[in-house]
Amino acid sequence: MRAAQSEDRAEEKAPARMGVVDIRHFRAFLMEGERAKLFHALHTPRPAVALFQTLQTWGLIVAAWALCFYVSPLWLPLALVLVGSRQRALGNSLHDASHGNMLQGREANRRVGSVLFALPMFEDFELYRTDHLNHHAYLGDPVKDPDFMALPPGADGQPSRDGWRVYSAFLFDGPLWRKSLWGVLGRMTSAQRLQVLLWWTVVLALFAALAGPRAALSFAALWMLSRATVYHAIKVFAEVSDHIGLVPGSIIGYTRNLPGNALSFLLHPHHDNYHLAHHLFPRIPLANLRRLHLLLKESPEYGAAHHCDTYFAGPSSVVHSWVAPKPLPSLATAREALQPHHAA
């Protein structure tokens, strides 16, 4: 409990460092009246949901492989979409576990997160966790935020106002593609790489034992081809969508909530679309973020933040927000606007 509280404090120092957003405003809002009990309950992990999501994710991956291997290789395009999007889902589950939100206890999150999510994705749990906590602590810092992305320049040298140019600049970025393909293998120690190798040796040996060497080879090929194509495309889209085009300096001004619709299953699995809610309260499990979002929507300041209703079309779409986000008042200005005005 003490460790979790310490991590909570560490993660929520970010706004104080940036000197703009007072996160205590939103905490105080959520601690008012009936909201307090609901807010407290939202911090509780939901292991049954995590188990269902994990079984669903790995089940769809194996089903996509079986469709190609046992039915017809013509199913490969669908298999790539399924596997690539479920690889993104594995990354989101790793994200949840890295915050200690999936299960009770940091060690349980570390062990389960390593075996089920990190190692198959060529990640080391502690490396991932350190990088991600730095993203929270130094949000929007071009040097210290490991996930910082700036709008690429357009033809006139100014930040691009063309959505495709923005996306393609990152989609065809060599280092980003290699990271999607190989994870952080290049940063790992020999012992950490050995863990990844051992994981894949056991899994592919199991495929070979159950269905023959061709099965093992085809699963490995589908896994890597998915990472090189659909997974990379989804990962880039999702990570560009979180913050790019917004003004650093506060959590609420520099973070978007993304749509919750049928496409979210592919692009933002496991409630990863509530990104602003997550940055405000990172110790709340992903499975509870929708309920947190609905509570926060009762706050006018949160309601006026960057909420995208669609992905590709319209003025409130994600792509439009990359290049032409709406201006937001500071929290202080918003509070003043909400104060009742009295006649002199």
Q: Do 237 and 167 touch, CB atoms closer than 8 A? A: yes
Residues 101, 133 contacting (CB under 8 angstroms): no
Strands 256-257 and 306-307 come out as: parallel
> Whole-angstrom Cα distance, residue 186 to residue 217?
23
Residue 274 · residue 289 · CB < 8 Å = yes
Give the Å distances, CA to CA, from 100 to 58, 72, 279.
Answer: 21, 41, 15
Would you state the pLDDT for residue 336? 52
Q: Which two tokens stand for residue 245?
A: 């085009």
The residue extents of the domains of the chain are 2-331
pLDDT, position 176: 98
Residues in the chain where the model's pLDDT stays below 50:
1-7, 9-20, 337-344
19 conformational bin, left if phi > 0, alpha if psi -120 to 50, beta if neither: left
| Alpha-carbon torsion (46, 48, 51, 56), positive or negative | negative
The pLDDT value given to residue 42: 98
* pTM of full prediction above 0.85: yes
Strand partners, 257: 307
| DSSP string computed for 60-83 | HHHHHHHIIIII-GGGHHHHHHHH
pLDDT at 155: 76
- For residue 335, the model assigns a pLDDT of 52
The whole-angstrom separation of Cα 204 and Cα 189 is 23
* Measured distance CA(83)–CA(308) in Å, rounded: 26
Q: What is the pLDDT of residues 298-330, one digit of tens each?
A: 999 999 999 999 999 999 999 999 999 988 765
